[in-house]
Amino acid sequence: MQEKVGGAILVIEDHKVMRKAMCDVLQDVFPECEVLCAATGEEGLSLAMRHRPLVVITDLCLPGLTGIDVTCRIKTLWPATGVVICTLSDGPTDRKKGEDAGVDEWVSKAEGVDALQAAVGRCLTACAQRMQRAGSTRGASPPTACHGNWKSCVA
């Protein structure tokens, strides 16, 4: 498969119908990007290692690795990658955990597809700006050893 010029967007969602809908909509809205889909955090991280996506959209509640776990690992490896949590869970404790992990955007599934599209668009723009400043062409910095504290990796 030929890589698309715009890079990759990774969707991690355990609900099959929701995952397909999100991937289809994002592919329509961002045709320059390759949209990858995963059902679990582990599968998502495996795809991320191969494709180094510009943006990762993940559900908060997943079997195995949670969306927060995925965010910590993505931000540790590639601080420039944008992460969007798309979930029905919207409590202050969850949001605080997300903020501490490095989540860039938080979208409630109840807000609908327009909110998700806008969040992904903002992340793509921010990622492109970070890459330009860093002189990177792949949306990601080299792997770093942050030991779970992603903020120490980005200055």
Average pLDDT, the chain: 83
Amino acid, single-letter form, for residue 140? A
Higher-confidence position of 103 and 151:
103
**What is the average per-residue pLDDT within 6-32?**
94
**What is the average per-residue pLDDT within 121-135?**
82
Decide if pLDDT at 112 tops 90. Answer: no
- The residues spanned by each domain of the chain are 8-153
Q: Yes or no: say if 141 and 155 are a contact pair by the CB < 8 Å rule.
A: no
pLDDT reported for residue 136: 57
Instruction: DSSP for 16-75, please give it.
Output: HHHHHHHHHHHHHH-TTSEEEEESSHHHHHHHHHHH--SEEEE-SS-SSS-HHHHHHHHH
Q: Is the dihedral of CA 71, 75, 33, 38 positive or negative?
A: negative
pLDDT reported for residue 131: 73
Q: Tens digits of per-residue pLDDT, 31-74?
A: 999 999 999 999 999 999 999 999 999 999 999 999 999 999 99
Read off the tokens for 91.
Answer: 């409590």
Length of the chain: 155
Q: Yes or no: say if 10 and 57 are a contact pair by the CB < 8 Å rule.
A: yes
CA 142 to chain centroid: 17
Which residues neighbour 14 within 8 Å (Cβ) at sequence distance 6 or greater?
Answer: 39, 40, 59, 61, 62, 63
Decide if pLDDT at 152 tops 70. Answer: no
Q: Which CATH number fits domain 8-153: 3.40.50.2300, 1.20.1630.10, 2.60.40.420, 3.90.1180.10?
A: 3.40.50.2300
Q: Tens digits of per-residue pLDDT, 72-91?
A: 999 999 998 999 999 988 78
Confidence category of residue 132, pLDDT binned at 50, 70, 90: confident
Amino acid, single-letter form, for residue 77? L
